[in-house]
Structure 1
């Protein structure tokens, strides 16, 4: 692929359709965007090579699987230079689903899912707070997620 490939309106329309439902076959997207299925396939391959599309994900309601507590944790590190080592250890904790390097009060901000508050306490005490390099954490329990969406692309 040419390094100077530029994203155009066709690419944006394809992405917009996939953001609505990533399971839609390329042939259906092609009909909506008025191109061939092959064009959609080639465009998606280029978008993947560029790193614009990094994969597909499954959207789930964890509460229906018994994970009723969603939390965000602000993590204070002993030293900023420990960031990479701490992240590698956090990645090994199954309940951790998102990790962000942030500005502001916290060095790291993470999202975790737990079955209940006892499970949360165990994850905090036995896993996260035992990671070498973490000075302390601040926990925020989510009471409800009111919005989870992609940004709207300018098409």
Structure 2
């Protein structure tokens, strides 16, 4: 969080509401926080311009769009140096099915979240794209059987 921007109670309430319903109108948001529309819009713009609000997204149902397999994949590189990380990131950014990529500590170097249509599509993706990246040494896949919590709502500290 940007330490130069102090969040008051109203800012935190705006962030809570927008995380739950980014499609809310400014008029409805202003009613819920108890301000008139103009200062409400000004506060939202301040939160956007400061980078606290990074973007707005539609959350899709992966099953309904035909992406029925989700996995986490631990990736270990052949060497943990800037050049290998840059090569890996350049290649990973070209693969649309990789929806998250995290640089981590521990036994692996990265954790990927990958979605695919089905197991055979996932296998093809892993064989032809991910494992084909020249700096990849080892991959360990975990298929997600079910998800009990998938919240994108961030707690806002006081």
Into which bin does the TM-score normalised by the smaller protein fall? over 0.9
Q: Over aligned residues, Cα RMSD in angstroms? A: 1.5
Q: Report the alpha carbon displacement of residue 40 of structure 1 after superposing the two structures with TM.
A: 2.1
Counterpart Cα distance in 1 of 2:41 and 2:90: 35
* Greater Cα offset, 15-24 or 4-13: 4-13
The corresponding residue for 2:127 is 125
Counterpart Cα distance in 2 of 1:95 and 1:23: 26
**How does 1:31-110 map onto structure 2 within 5 Å?**
31-81=31-81, 82-110=84-112
Counterpart Cα distance in 2 of 1:4 and 1:100: 27
Deviations 1:92-141 (A, max 9, x none): 10111001010111111010110111001000000000112111110000
Counterpart Cα distance in 1 of 2:61 and 2:123: 22
Q: Report the alpha carbon displacement of residue 41 of structure 1 after superposing the two structures with TM.
A: 1.6
The corresponding residue for 2:29 is 29
Deviations 1:59-97 (A, max 9, x none): 111111111100010000111221122112101101110
1:153 to 138, 147, 156: 156
Instruction: Look up the SS of the partner of 1:65 in the other structure.
Output: coil
Normalized against structure 1, the TM-score is what? 0.93
Structure 1 ranges of 4+ moved more than 4 A: none
Normalized against structure 2, the TM-score is what? 0.91
**How does 1:132-147 map onto structure 2 within 5 Å?**
132-147=134-149
Unaligned runs of 5+ in 1: none
Structure with the higher fraction of residues in helix conformation? 1
Instruction: Look up the SS of the partner of 1:70 in the other structure.
Output: strand
